[in-house]
Chains A and B, each alone.
Chain A
Amino acid sequence: MRKFQFYLLLFSLYTIGFGLFFYKFYVLGFPLSEGSEVDIWNVEAHITFDAQNEPAKISFFIPQNTQNFLILSENFVSKGYGLSTSTVNTNRQAIWGINRAEGRQDLYYIVEVNKIKFKKFLDYSPPSQLKQHGFEGHRLLAAEALLSDVQARSADIDSLVVELLKRFNNLQHDKNVEVLLGEQYSIERKLELITQILALSDIHARIVNGIELKELVKEAKLIQWLEVYTNYTWKSYGPFLAKPGIPDDYFAWWRGNDPLVQLAGGNNLHVNISVGLKQREAINAAIKRGEIINPWLLDFSLFSLPIHTQIVYHMLFLIPVGAFLIVFLRNIIGIETFGTFMPILIALSFRETHLLWGIILFSLLAAIGLAIRLYLEYFKILVVPRLTFVLTVVILSMAVLSILFQKLGIEHGLYVAIFPMVILTMTIERMSIIWEERGASVAIRRGIWSLAAAALAYFFMFNTYVKHVTFIFPEILFIILASTLILGRYSGYRLFELFRFKELVND
């Protein structure tokens, strides 16, 4: 029972830890290293028209999150215009309005989008009423003939759509297609006909207008593809592909046959979409993504805290990492230090002083304190007064050292003031007791090990990766918890113990 509970606990802790970690890493794209950057597409739509000194109203379709892309931010730049956004059918639409405008007008819509690795956004919105096919006379006959011909060659909706696309792309010469197309063979016309033919066999289909986010262009070309409602979801079909699906860099803008922008009260309407690329810190992009994909996760994360509190936790989360290192050093390696967590606290102060200066300053203070403490032994002072005396001496020494380093112009020396003096005092006290009881060599050796452990903890805790990962992925602490539990039942030899028992084997 105890074993079961133990393993259950381990399993839960590891599941939470690794689960959250991989979710954030793979799905939300939180970066493993600090300062890594991701590509953000910066899409700018520039609408121009000439106003005629009368009220003007511009309706403009705007994009929403797609299967492949997430919108991180959007901006409307339109001086003097009133703006409202609404959802029309399945499209988002922005409407600018102004009472009186004169001359050339410029309106901007800027959107930042980021490609997602996992296609998890399937469009499940149910279709509206089935579209009227609108065929009459000989065109209806042609459409019906084409449909039955294609149906005969296809097993399901997928192959039906693909077959239709093939016919319309003239991959196979078809008389019926010629009748239906007539003189116009633009892609829009072909796709429109396909939706009509699909409507004939009761299949919902619609045209999607979008752009390709592939390279930087000043004037992006609008492209069209098909979406067909099948298996309760909308599936995309590229017009030139012989199989279902669209390229990953197709960014859907709006659906249907309506033009992108419509104007009432003006002329010379023109819209230009340009695509730019910019680098954004991966972490910010991930947070944005998280807010969209999984809002509650980010709501209960450290990022919801004020910055100064975040900084505190940035530091606090490193302490368990250091403590775990100490567990390893003590129980697996078998080194002995003064005070269990003393090396971690010393390591924290090394961050300010830097390692070399930290070690020098610490040794200096410990030596001064130890000398005073050993001298005090002569007077047989009681414990608490003795500790107070040493503490005061330590602080005075700090002050003296600070002044001295200031005069000498050694900047790092000033950081001596951040050493945890209580810890230092306790270290001195413990060291002096060992010194008295077991001799100077044991005391000095243990002191050196303590400093070595502190230096190791410093390297470990303030490694940029460790620092970054513990803050961005605090769930690492669950992994540390579980691993600590395991080490808590470690019953093998400590490395240093081997030296002690070596004598036993040398027969």
Chain B
Amino acid sequence: MNFRLIKRLRKMGVMGVNRRNTWYTLMYNPRRLYSLVDDKLLTKQLAIKAGIAVPELYGIVATHHQIRDMHTLFKQYPDFVIKPSHGSGGNGVLIMSGHYKDMYRKLNGLLMSKEELNNHVSDILSGIYSLGGQPDKAMIEYRVQLHPLFENISYQGMPDIRIVVLLGVPVMSMVRLPTRMSDGKANLHRGAIGVGIDIAKGVTLTGVWKNDIIIEHPDTGISVTDIKIPKWEILLKLASTCYELTGLGYLGVDIVFDKEKGPLLLEVNARPGLNIQIANRTGLLQRLKLVEQHYRGLKNIDERISFAQKNFGAQNISPHKINIRTFFSMDW
């Protein structure tokens, strides 16, 4: 055991899986609310009701006999995305960039026949990609158009912005950039890049790729740091609203940036990952503890956001002394 490493990580306030689970997800996220975020269709409907912008839903395939009819739906749209409603980690997501005769063109340019697509949707319905393998629905939705800002720093696919929110206060953020390795997907474990974002200003910091700190995109060679995310306050607001939307105290909000429609809520995650700490090169705990101390005094979304921007800027790296001496969380 490397006790010096443990000591330094604790001092930085780096949060491990056990602490996230014992203290944050288990404490702030009631089990019954999980269905709201595990089912992306429900999340989307909820967001629409609350007036939050989301990628437009074209249709749902819920039963096997609807599979044949979905192709008439596809004809109406030049491009679209198919995803399992209960999927996780980007599994089962299919992005179609166009039509060719009777076939569909995938993001990587390869063609997919109707039968292949039918099989894929059938897989989704039978629950291959869903948590626990229960039967699922396939969602067909608007394909988000890449914002020019990200054109040079993402390889195919769509970058998304993850904001971790505690009790309505955005605490940490990163943008996830797809790479050749990640096959156009924005999941870090697949090889996407995570680039930290300064909560105060919305400017990107350094990135992490496969556990290495990087400054340039490995595929394009263009710098990923110091990029100003437009409409940053709107993004923060969107993330903060998700607290009221779902009732979940600790969550990760995934936002995509459309060329024309601006920030759109993609999905909400009740167990956000911990790699965001590596992308930001700082621990979450200090920020989370600070929010736990002050959230009662924050009356509305604007107050929560200004609290976040005041305290969680990049220049004030761990200015807050916190006490995490215990190995067990037994003071609920």
Q: Tell me whether A494 is interfacial, beta carbon within 8 Å.
A: yes
Q: Tell me whether B14 is interfacial, beta carbon within 8 Å.
A: yes
The contact string, 1 if C-beta is below 8 Å from chain B, for chain A 141-153, is 0000000000000
Is A2's CB under 8 angstroms from B123's CB?
no
The contact string, 1 if C-beta is below 8 Å from chain B, for chain A 424-455, is 00000000000001100000000000000000
Q: Bound complex: CA of A502 vs CA of B277, how far in Å?
A: 12
Q: Bound complex: CA of A438 vs CA of B329, how far in Å?
A: 33
Is A494's CB under 8 angstroms from B17's CB?
yes
> Which of A48-56, A231-239, A485-493 binds B?
A485-493
Minimal beta-carbon separation of B43 from chain A (angstroms): 23
Is A497's CB under 8 angstroms from B16's CB?
yes
Q: Bound complex: CA of A497 vs CA of B273, how far in Å?
A: 13
Interface positions of B from 90 to 146, Cβ below 8 Å from A: 91, 116, 119-120, 122-123, 126-128, 133
Among B5, B18, B23, the residue within 8 A (CB) of A494 is: B18
Interface size bracket, B side: 35 or more
Residues in A neighbouring B8, C-beta threshold 8 A: 505
Minimal beta-carbon separation of A455 from chain B (angstroms): 22
The contact string, 1 if C-beta is below 8 Å from chain B, for chain A 245-265, is 000000000000000000000
Interface positions of B from 281 to 296, Cβ below 8 Å from A: 281-283
Is B330's CB under 8 angstroms from A501's CB?
no
Interface positions of A from 379 to 428, Cβ below 8 Å from B: 380, 382-384
Residues in B neighbouring A3, C-beta threshold 8 A: 330-332
Q: Bound complex: CA of A497 vs CA of B9, how far in Å?
A: 11
Q: Bound complex: CA of A383 vs CA of B92, how far in Å?
A: 14
Q: Tell me whether B60 is interfacial, beta carbon within 8 Å.
A: no
Interface size bracket, A side: 20 to 34
Q: Bound complex: CA of A382 vs CA of B1, how far in Å?
A: 45
Interface SS of A by simple majority: helix
Q: Bound complex: CA of A507 vs CA of B300, how far in Å?
A: 38
Residues in A neighbouring B190, C-beta threshold 8 A: 438
Residues in B neighbouring A503, C-beta threshold 8 A: 208, 211-213, 278
Q: Tell me whether B12 is interfacial, beta carbon within 8 Å.
A: yes
Among B1, B9, B22, the residue within 8 A (CB) of A490 is: B22
Is B12's CB under 8 angstroms from A384's CB?
no
Q: Bound complex: CA of A7 vs CA of B98, how far in Å?
A: 62
Q: Bound complex: CA of A503 vs CA of B8, how far in Å?
A: 12
Is B328's CB under 8 angstroms from A486's CB?
yes
Q: Tell me whether B6 is interfacial, beta carbon within 8 Å.
A: yes
The contact string, 1 if C-beta is below 8 Å from chain A, for chain B 9-41, is 100101011110011000000000000000000
Residues in B neighbouring A79, C-beta threshold 8 A: none
Residues in B neighbouring A331, C-beta threshold 8 A: 18
Is A493's CB under 8 angstroms from B18's CB?
yes
Minimal beta-carbon separation of A381 from chain B (angstroms): 9
Residues in A neighbouring B6, C-beta threshold 8 A: 492-493, 498
Residues in B neighbouring A495, C-beta threshold 8 A: 1
Minimal beta-carbon separation of A266 from chain B (angstroms): 78
Is A383's CB under 8 angstroms from B19's CB?
no
List the interface of chain B (C-beta within 8 A of A). 1-2, 5-6, 8-9, 12, 14, 16-19, 22-23, 89, 91, 116, 119-120, 122-123, 126-128, 133, 189-190, 208, 211-213, 277-278, 281-283, 326-332
List the interface of chain A (C-beta within 8 A of B). 2-3, 6-7, 331, 334, 380, 382-384, 437-438, 486, 488-495, 497-498, 500-505, 507
5 contacts between A and B (CB under 8 A): A438-B190, A489-B22, A490-B18, A492-B19, A503-B211
